[in-house]
């Protein structure tokens, strides 16, 4: 099990619908503690019913995917997986590409920061 950070491109078993899960690339968009990671899946075809962002080898600062053309980050599908479910790391996106992806993920889908201890104590009073 590795530690993954925002911008890493990983391979993981991902179920996009009721059908069985498929091993596919995904972009880490946030982490939750030491074992949870929040990802946007990557597809070789753009979805017809949801927004996406194309990525190519030029979008990587290290590593990459075995691409013959563009792939598409499904920014409307944020999934949470265990870091132990990651099959491998394929690379890391450059800062510009990551910023574009993060800017397209609806804020409501991203995990928020945990309240500080003082805030939790005040709310309980």
**Cβ–Cβ under 8 Å, residues 86 and 2:** yes
Residue 34 has what DSSP assignment?
T
CA-to-CA dists, residue 121 to 21, 47, 94, 113, angstroms? 41, 45, 40, 16
Enumerate the H helices of 8-110 as residue ranges: 95-104
**What is the model's pLDDT at position 114?**
43
**What is the model's pLDDT at position 112?**
55
9: pLDDT strictly greater than 70: yes
Class in CATH terms, 8-124: mainly beta
Q: What are the boundaries of each domain within the chain?
A: 8-124
50: pLDDT strictly greater than 90: no
Q: What is the reported pTM?
A: 0.81
SS3 content of the chain, % helix, strand, coil (to 5): 20, 40, 40
Q: What is the largest CA-CA distance in the chain?
A: 59
């Amino acid at each position: 099990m590795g530690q993954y950070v925002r911008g890493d491109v990983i391979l993981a078993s991902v179920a996009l619908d009721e059908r069985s899960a498929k091993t596919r690339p995904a972009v880490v968009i946030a982490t939750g503690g030491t074992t949870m990671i929040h990802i946007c899946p990557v597809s070789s075809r753009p979805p017809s019913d949801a927004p996406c962002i194309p990525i190519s080898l030029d979008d990587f600062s290290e590593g990459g995917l075995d691409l013959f053309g563009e792939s598409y980050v499904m920014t409307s599908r944020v999934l949470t997986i265990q870091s132990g479910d990651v099959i491998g790391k394929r690379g890391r996106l450059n800062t510009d590409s990551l910023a574009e992806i993060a800017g397209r993920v609806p804020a409501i889908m991203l995990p928020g920061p945990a309240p500080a201890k003082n805030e939790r104590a005040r709310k309980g009073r």
